[in-house]
Homo-oligomer: A and B are copies of this chain.
Amino acid sequence: MSPPPAPAPESGPDSARATSGAVATHALRIDAARLAERLRELALVGAIDGGGVCRLALTDADRDARDLVIGWMRDLDMEVRIDAVGNVVATRGGDPALAPVMCGSHIDTVRTGGKYDGNFGVLAGLEVVETLAATRTDTVRPLAVAFFTDEEGARFHPDMLGSLVYAGGMSTETALELRGIDGTRLGDELDRIGYAGSHPCPGPVPYAFVEVHIEQGPVLEAAGITIGAVTGVQGIHWEEITVEGRSAHAGTTPMSMRLDAVHAAAALTMRVREIVETVGGSQVGTVGSFDVHPNLVNVVAARAVITVDLRNTDANELERAIAELGRACTDIERSDSVVITRRVTADFDPVDFDPAMVDRVEGVATTLGLSVQRMPSGAGHDAQMLARVCPAAMIFVPSVAGLSHNVAEHTELDDLEAGANVLLHTMLDLANEAP
């Protein structure tokens, strides 16, 4: 599984146009209305109040969304392959002996997700394919559009699971045995929704991988820039932390005799914020989930389980934050007389994308007359998993108010159109490079 050689830095979009077919490909543009319509239709699957989407991985809603997107892929005469962890890859055109230029993202969402996170990257890929099909434009290499299972990790930890397995970072066997937050087994849920495919993992190595995605943060909007050329992804560390105290009567138990799991978990939540402030720089930290047993008004809690999400673009600083979290647990075990156990559910080092690929995205955006800036990604993405096996890149478009993982997540159609056009020409250039 050695990656193919990275495209030479000097092979920018202009050089690629020379190798394309009869049509003047540099004039090609995607159809924004068609893209918007597919986004609208997909967002109806698992729609929730406020304009958002709840489509946790491998639920019925995820199955319905998969069926819809695969239908569109087949309408475009793409060849659809489903692998053993439910990743879907559809290919079109080019020389089947050559590795495809792949784009893709995911269609699962968090519980209070928006319409664009992931979905935009997949549907922009279909828009690239339809734009080429409509103009009868062929490419030297096949094009592929993928969506990967459980990118959000909101149901099965770790996140970016499908692309991790696709890239050989976790065995299929391990993945199938994972348990979801609802106790279900990943393999059983794949079977249940009919998405346990026959194609093996790790999957075929693409020639290159490009993912267009909403920024999910406020940087581009604040700077008034349309396109982000993503330089890399911050490291991500997730833990599930269990605090064991002792249940007791909330009226009769003196404060000094309490082993209060909620108090200890709240203290740990406050410490996470302090750790973020201490480490500084790009460090962020979140306690997003907090579960208590027995969870009753008049009972000092026996147990609390919280999750901690730590991220940093600097691997050493992330390690420092993780070490500080360990110290916080030790301190609170002592101060609150509780027992704390930690379980790491995701741990990914920061990723730097191939510099030539970053240059390529920046060059395409500039050629298209779009404002562009280089930036790291604050979120994890499937592209960082594909970067393990092939040159990978990401294209960001602005998120209104920086909101994501929120039903109000929004990106203006002009920006979606711009991002999809950068994807189109980045893929076209790559797909027409000489073998």
Q: Which residues of A contact B (CB under 8 A)?
A: 110-112, 152-154, 157, 159, 215-218, 234, 236, 238, 240, 246-255, 257, 260, 262-263, 265-267, 269-270, 273, 276-277, 284-302, 304, 307, 309, 311, 345, 377-380, 399, 402-407
Contacts and interface: CB of A to CB of B under 8 A. Distances in A.
B112 A294 contact: yes
Contacts of A238: 297-298
Q: Which residue of A234, A253, A277, A379 has the most chain B CB atoms within 10 A of its CB atom?
A: A253
Contact of A297 (B273, B294, B307): B307
Nearest to A303: B112
Contacts of A284: 250-251, 253-255
Q: Which 4 A-B pairs have the closest CB atoms?
A: A217-B252, A252-B378, A266-B269, A111-B294
A290 B295 contact: yes
Nearest to A381: B251
Report copies per complex.
2
Contacts of A236: 251
Contacts of A402: 248, 252-254, 257
A109 B112 CA distance: 35
27 contacts: A110-B296, A110-B299, A111-B299, A152-B298, A154-B298, A217-B249, A217-B254, A234-B251, A246-B403, A247-B407, A248-B402, A248-B404, A248-B405, A249-B404, A249-B406, A251-B284, A252-B378, A255-B273, A255-B285, A262-B288, A263-B269, A266-B266, A288-B295, A288-B297, A296-B405, A297-B309, A302-B406
Given A284-B254, A302-B112, A405 B290 contact: no
B309 A298 contact: yes
A14 to B, nearest CB: 33
